Structure 1
Amino acid sequence: MTPSRFAFAALLLASAAAVGPRPASGQTLQEAMALAYSNNPTLQAARAQLRAVDENVPQALAGWRPTVQITGAAGQTTTGTRPNPIGPSGNWRSRDTTQVQASVAQPLYRGGRTVAQTRRAENQVLAQRARLYATEQQVLLDVVNAYVAMIRDQEEVRLNTNNEQVLLRQLQATNERFRVGEITRTDVAQAESRLAGARASRADAEGRLQTSRATFTRLVGQAPQRLTPPQPLRPPAPNAREAAVMAARNNPNVVAALFDEAAARDQIDVQFAALLPQISVNGSVFRNTGQQAGGAALDGVRQDGTSVTANLVVPLFQGGAEHAAVRQARQQAQQSRNVVEDQRRGAAQQATQAYETLVAARATVDSVRSQIRAAEIALDGVQREAVVGSRTTLDVLNAEQELLNARVSLVRALAAVITASHNLAAAVGRLTARDLNLPVPLYDVEAYYNAVRNRWVGFGDYTEDAAVQGR
């Protein structure tokens, strides 16, 4: 058997080869990420969640606005005197009554609750935007992993299929030599055993390929086409220490935790407002008909009137629940501060791990390339020595297996380089559609917020209005 020799570039190109016929055009990693950015349901759900959180701001601003309402009542009232037990029946009279009142209540001071609720709502919006970016990064990173896994598994299927064909020819040659008495039955059994193992490895590789294909389809929204081998990203930091510092500052989970902490501090003011005075102005217009006038119930009597009052409410003691709510909010703010530190440490750990994994994967690629060159030379020598009888069939099979293992290791190391570079970018917050310059319109996180922030009425879906505004 003559071993197949190919250079590193040829192996990289072979990584793009898929099993079965495929279209001529290739699908790049950027195109796959752009498709996921546009239609991935996880990302779409996160955007809808952000729009829902945007509505917290107009709800908080409603505390500045007047409340207008109309109340009314209509019915019948029956009155009369109790009959004298020895006299005639009492005098009973029925009349129709109506009451209509329109009132306006304008809050002037609510103990600072409206200001605190507005600040809290805006911090919640900013925190949710950071979470949206975290979700976006995770979706894109999942696409990268699925894309690279497809190429890796396709290449492993190709290598195992080629190895199975080589071992089949090896078994045929071994049987011929056994028939002429050059080797023993043991050599044939060894070749048969190695071929059966190769078939099992090929079947396992095909199963993993189908799994990767299903994962790719779920994330991207369509089946993979002819995939083009991607290049690793340039590291955003020169060393692991600077990557950790950058991640502790820019990671979306850290940013979200910081705004969550600010919102938790605002919640203290929201709860404390219940202990402060409340000032409001109320105005009303009313009309009552069928009421009693001058002590007598007369049909047709109508009362009209207006009232304007300034109201002051000073809470003195309300059972202590408000004090407990303030204490609770303080503890929740302390919890949020600890969450910030935990997120910073976690982001730094992720960045350090991704950077070191990238360095190790690159070193592995260089080492395995040298291993492949040496294994090819060794296999060629073992085959030549087996022809003259100084090597056995098992020696040849072992040399072939070592070369196959080295080539599979190279494929996996190349995949590890690409995924580690993208993991590093995600850890430092640089794996967004904007950072990657994806060929897709970017989602405007402020468009819906601007469309609903100062809206007083309306209960429709303003997503389309926000989309027009964002363009």
Structure 2
Amino acid sequence: MSPLISLPSRAPLRHAISLLVVAAFAPSVQAADLLTITQDALTHSATLNSSRSTFKSTEAGQDVERGDLLPQISATGSAYRYDTLSSQRYAGSSAAQAGSSGASSSGEDYNGTSLGVNVTQALFDATNWYEYQQSKKQVGQQALQLEIDQQQLLYDVSEAYFEILRAKEVLDARQAQEKAIGRQREQANEQFNVGLVAITDVNEAQAAFDSARAQRIAAKSDLQVSFETLERLTGKHYDSIEGLDSDLPIQPPTPVRRDEWVEIALASSPSIQYAQAGVGLAESGVDIAQAGHLPTLDAFADYSYANNDRDELRGHNEDLQIGVQANLPIYTGGSTSASVRENTYTLEATQYDFEDQRRFTTQQVRSLFAQVSNDVESVEAQREAIVSSRSALEATRAGYEVGTRNIVDVLDAEQSLYESMSDYADARYTYVTDLLQLRQQAGVLNLDVIRGTNRWLRDSNPVSLDVNDADDNSTVDDIGKRPTPPPRS
């Protein structure tokens, strides 16, 4: 006779206990914040590391140009074996003049060594001097390019970070929309099955549900792509990131005057400074070209030593020469004058580029300042739109229940509410990224700014790629299916 109550087996019980122990002692994965991810990007970004290597290469180029101004020393040496053989016949009528055969031969062989040392020092070489000055300006300009790339990376990482948070909030809204419209679809099916509504109401609900489902899938894809963008910038994978605090203050930018931001940009923007450094480089190019008309003056010293072991000679030869050498270019086919004209036009072009960069930065700062100021109002307006859309939805549902509104009105109100929620999330993150871009264009985006933004992130609501689809009690198989009308009696 079997017992009324069966005891559980020991194996599943032991398995459950072991899972609880592992879960208790397993380290929790902490969501990454913006500051941590930014520091990872500063270390691992391929673009920034390339810029750093280019800067180091430019620094090495300065040493190359300086080397032309320092003494140049070269040495040569050789060791050789000398073998000769001479065979000659005298051109005379009497063989006695050349011995019995009328011919003679001789040979000589010996070993020899030689050594030479040459030292030159430029006393006056305007071309080399201006090229060295230009190389120093190139280092300064490349340092500005490195600063531009670093600020761009700070903005790109921040934008990618908040794009993930934006995509997650939009996905949450799309999931809630799909769930709500799914319930509306089920209600329409039930009402149709008992004959309270027409088939058109069911079809409208089904179409709205299909549209909401497609929007949710697209939003989920956007979230996945956003994580990939962040991974490309940092070279690292993140399981989750911290979310933005709902109490983030939405305030106008400080300073509050647009002209003050323009003044900051004109003084601090590395892009403007880079263009200005380009003018200095072009001026050095003109100096180098004009130096082609000038003479050069070098001091030199040559020393040579030679020795061999010929039988009839003993000792060695030494030569030492010290002097000054001047060179004056008289005519170079017109190439020097042409080079001066070429570099003069290049200088003129860089001056226009500098002015264009000043205007562009000024326009960007003014536009971004206005955009951030508008974002403040837009966030508030979108918040109010959610309240209004929710009230409109409640009123529309009430009208639908009493018969003054149809299901299309209800579905439109549902979509309007969740569009407002999505637009509110979009407005908040647009404000954050526009404010960061304003600082970047003004040239004041740095780690301190990132650190200040990071204070508004919270790990209590992390965002990850582990996203559950909306619980609409539906399966993939019933997508697009329409309910079958009940049979007529």
- TM-score, length-normalised on structure 1? 0.81
Indicate how the Cα distance of structure 1 residues 280 and 437 shifts in structure 2: closer, same or farther if over 3 A, else same.
farther
CA shift, 1:127, in A, is: 0.8
Residue aligning to 2:118: 103
Choose the corresponding residue for 2:138, options 117, 120, 124: 124
- TM-score, length-normalised on structure 2? 0.78
Q: CA RMSD in A?
A: 2.5
What's the CA shift string for 1:394-450, capped at 9, x where partnerless? 1111111111111111111111101110110011101123554589xxxxxxxxxxx
Choose the corresponding residue for 1:78, options 81, 84, 90: 84
Residues 1:322 and 2:328 are matched in the alignment? no
CA distance in 2, matches of 1:289, 1:81: 27
Residues 1:289 and 2:307 are matched in the alignment? yes
Residues 1:63 and 2:68 are matched in the alignment? yes
Residue aligning to 1:380: 394
CA shift, 1:82, in A, is: 4.9
What stretches of structure 1 of length at least 5 have no aligned partner?
1-21, 440-471
Choose the corresponding residue for 1:146, options 145, 152, 160: 160
CA shift, 1:261, in A, is: 1.1
Indicate how the Cα distance of structure 1 residues 438 and 266 shifts in structure 2: closer, same or farther if over 3 A, else same.
farther
Residue aligning to 1:40: 45
Residue aligning to 1:168: 182
CA distance in 1, matches of 2:235, 2:35: 14
> Structure 1 segments of 4 or more deviating over 6 A?
none
CA distance in 2, matches of 1:91, 1:431: 88
Residue aligning to 1:19: none
Letter in 2 for 1:27: A
Choose the corresponding residue for 1:273, options 287, 291, 306: 291
Choose the corresponding residue for 1:255, options 252, 257, 273: 273
CA shift, 1:104, in A, is: 1.3
Residues 1:227 and 2:242 are matched in the alignment? yes
Do the aligned residues in 1 keep the contact of 2:166 with 2:426 (CA within 8 Å)? yes
What's the CA shift string for 1:315-365, capped at 9, x where partnerless? 222332222222222222112111111111121122122122212222221
CA distance in 2, matches of 1:83, 1:412: 107
Letter in 2 for 1:229: L
What's the CA shift string for 1:192-239, capped at 9, x where partnerless? 111111110001111111111100111123234232217579735423
1:401-416 equivalences in 2 (<5 Å): 401-416=415-430
Moved more, 316-325 or 399-408: 316-325
What's the CA shift string for 1:284-319, capped at 9, x where partnerless? 221123499xxxx95555211322112222222233
Do the aligned residues in 1 keep the contact of 2:192 with 2:198 (CA within 8 Å)? yes
CA shift, 1:119, in A, is: 1.9
Indicate how the Cα distance of structure 1 residues 298 and 326 shifts in structure 2: closer, same or farther if over 3 A, else same.
farther
Do the aligned residues in 1 keep the contact of 2:306 with 2:317 (CA within 8 Å)? yes
* Higher Rg of the two aligned structures: 2
CA distance in 2, matches of 1:322, 1:121: 21
Letter in 1 for 2:277: F
Letter in 1 for 2:217: A
CA shift, 1:366, in A, is: 1.6
SS in 2 for 1:315: coil
Indicate how the Cα distance of structure 1 residues 233 and 368 shifts in structure 2: closer, same or farther if over 3 A, else same.
closer
Indicate how the Cα distance of structure 1 residues 81 and 246 shifts in structure 2: closer, same or farther if over 3 A, else same.
farther
CA distance in 2, matches of 1:74, 1:389: 114
SS in 2 for 1:319: coil
Choose the corresponding residue for 1:93, options 108, 116, 129: 108
Letter in 2 for 1:31: T
Letter in 2 for 1:93: E
